[in-house]
């Protein structure tokens, strides 16, 4: 058992008041037990009784039920926390018992083979899966101290704070200007719209390329520009988090590099979670990396689970799990 402690700087008022969580802890829970101990242990039956963050964490680390072999990495001011999160589409398990915390203003990458639940998980972070009728969860997802799936939480408001950028750039069939302004208008934005458009395009590193053609249709831009327009559109809503599901997979290498450079800049202001199938991309952009794998359950269907989550360098250079080692070295089949 290897418990490592790293000190991290934390300046928020809230955390000054939480002396019990002054370190990042990495706990390698070696009580190896794969994912076959499902619903009977589901703690969601205690729904909404334990929204207190510190209590939650104590509970979690003490929990005998938490017996996957995944590392549990905790932060003192996590933006997202999943607790024993399982996702089903109908009766089919897609993602099993994920315990994971996402720190603020860092880039966290989700990697793993196709079908291991990366998109499913990232969509849980802004309740985008709600739009799929068969989708349901067990366990919990917290956004700061709020249980995201509590009935009290308004999914539309959540999505405003947590922007999403998809694999295929999907600008509105409107002018470049209106792509940015539209969301602000429907949210009754009362500030200077020109300024918002300019600042959002600057944050998305697109301003200099489009400032003289703001009235042109967003669809007339190149693929890479369209994706940066979508990032600008997300930024204009002043989110706290930007989720990106394979944002570069339809882009050429030059555009990919621009978006990657942009991701570096974005983390100064936002928390970024990115799904990528490109391992080099994870090493280039991510501070932390979570490796997911898929396994066949008793009923024969494959479900995903978190294998290992750590600093990106550690995952790629010194992973603890054999499956991670195989995946990052390309020896996977
Ligand atoms: N809308 C959906 N309806 C039913 N099953 C789905 C849906 N979306 C994803 N799945 C299933 O969930 C599992 C995980 O898929 P996904 O999250 O897309 O994985 P990844 O992004 O890692 O490739 C797969 O088995 C996939 O078939
Ligand atoms: Mg996917």
Task: Delineate the domains of the chain, giving CATH numbers in brackets.
Answer: 80-329 (3.40.50.300)
* Cα 46 to averaged position of ligand 2 atoms, centre (Å): 31
| 66 vs 272 pLDDT, higher one | 272
pTM to 2 decimals? 0.81
Residue 158's pLDDT is 84
The structure tokens 């926390």 sit at: 81
The pLDDT tens digits for 270-308 are 999 999 999 999 999 999 999 999 998 878 889 999 999
Q: In this structure, what token pair is assigned to residue 221?
A: 């831009």
Counting ligands in written order, the one closest to the CA of 291 is 1
Residue 333's pLDDT is 56
**Which positions ≥6 away from 47 have C-beta within 8 Å?**
140, 147, 150
* Cα 134 to averaged position of ligand 1 atoms, centre (Å): 12
Residue 120's pLDDT is 97
Q: What is the mean pLDDT of residues 26-51?
A: 32
Residue 245 Cα: closest atom of ligand 1: 21
Residue 48's pLDDT is 39
CA distance 120 to 103: 19
Q: In this structure, what token pair is assigned to residue 316?
A: 């790629």
Mutate to test the pocket of ligand 1, among 98, 112, 115 (most ligand atoms within 8 A of CB): 115
CA distance 108 to 98: 15
Mutate to test the pocket of ligand 1, among 85, 87, 88, 94 (most ligand atoms within 8 A of CB): 94
pLDDT bucket at 197, cuts 50 / 70 / 90: very high
The pLDDT tens digits for 164-185 are 999 999 999 999 999 999 999 9
Counting ligands in written order, the one closest to the CA of 136 is 1
DSSP 245-312: ESTTTTS-HHHHHHHHHHHHHHTTTSEEEEE-S-HHHHHHH-SEEEEEEEEE-TTS-EEEEEEEEEEH
Q: Is the pLDDT of residue 5 over 80?
A: no
Residue 80's pLDDT is 97
DSSP 188-249: T--S-HHHHHHHHHHHTT-HHHHTT-TTSBGGGS-HHHHHHHHHHHHHHT--SEEEEESTTT
Within 53-131, strands assigned E span 71-74, 80-89, 92-102, 107-111
Mutate to test the pocket of ligand 1, among 93, 111, 117 (most ligand atoms within 8 A of CB): 117
CA distance 105 to 11: 13
Q: What is the mean pLDDT of residues 252-257?
A: 92
Residue 121's pLDDT is 97
pLDDT bucket at 37, cuts 50 / 70 / 90: very low
Residue 118's pLDDT is 97
Which residues form the pocket of ligand 1, taking CB atoms under 6 Å from any ligand atom? 89, 94, 114-120, 132, 134, 302, 304
Residue 292 Cα: closest atom of ligand 1: 22
Q: Which of 36-45, 150-159, 172-181, 276-285 has the lowest mean pLDDT?
A: 36-45
Counting ligands in written order, the one closest to the CA of 292 is 1
Q: Is 25 helix (H, G, I), strand (E, B) or coil?
A: strand
Residue environment code for 162-171, b if the CB has 16+ CB neighbours within 10 A, otherwise e: bbbbbbebeb
């Amino acid at each position: 058992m290897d418990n490592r402690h790293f000190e991290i700087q934390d300046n928020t008022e809230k955390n000054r008041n939480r002396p019990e969580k002054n370190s990042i802890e990495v706990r390698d829970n070696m009580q190896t037990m794969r994912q076959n101990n499902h619903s009977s242990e589901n703690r969601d039956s205690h729904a909404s009784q334990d929204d207190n963050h510190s209590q939650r964490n104590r509970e979690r680390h003490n929990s005998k039920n938490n017996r996957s072999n995944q590392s549990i990495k905790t932060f003192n001011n996590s933006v997202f926390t999943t607790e024993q999160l399982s996702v089903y589409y109908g009766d089919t398990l897609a993602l099993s018992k994920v315990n994971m915390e996402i720190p603020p203003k860092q880039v966290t990458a989700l990697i793993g083979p196709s079908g291991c639940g990366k998109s499913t998980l990232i969509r849980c972070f802004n309740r985008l899966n709600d739009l799929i009728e068969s989708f349901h969860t067990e366990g919990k997802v917290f956004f700061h101290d709020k249980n995201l799936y509590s009935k009290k939480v308004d999914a539309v408001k959540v999505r405003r704070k947590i922007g999403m950028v998809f694999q295929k750039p999907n600008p509105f069939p409107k002018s470049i200007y209106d792509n940015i302004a539209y969301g602000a208008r429907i949210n009754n934005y009362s500030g200077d719209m020109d300024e918002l458009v300019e600042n959002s395009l600057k944050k998305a590193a697109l301003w200099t390329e489009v400032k003289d053609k703001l009235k042109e249709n967003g669809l007339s831009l190149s693929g890479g520009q369209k994706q940066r327009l979508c990032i600008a559109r997300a930024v204009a809503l002043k989110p706290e988090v930007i989720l990106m599901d394979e944002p570069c997979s339809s882009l050429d290498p030059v555009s990919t590099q621009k978006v990657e450079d942009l991701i570096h800049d974005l983390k100064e202001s936002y928390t970024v979670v990115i799904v990528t199938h490109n391992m080099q991309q994870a090493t280039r952009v991510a501070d932390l990396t979570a490796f997911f794998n898929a396994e066949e359950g008793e009923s024969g269907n494959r479900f995903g689970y978190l294998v290992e989550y750590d600093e990106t360098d550690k995952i790629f250079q010194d992973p603890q799990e054999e499956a991670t080692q195989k995946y990052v070295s390309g020896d996977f089949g």
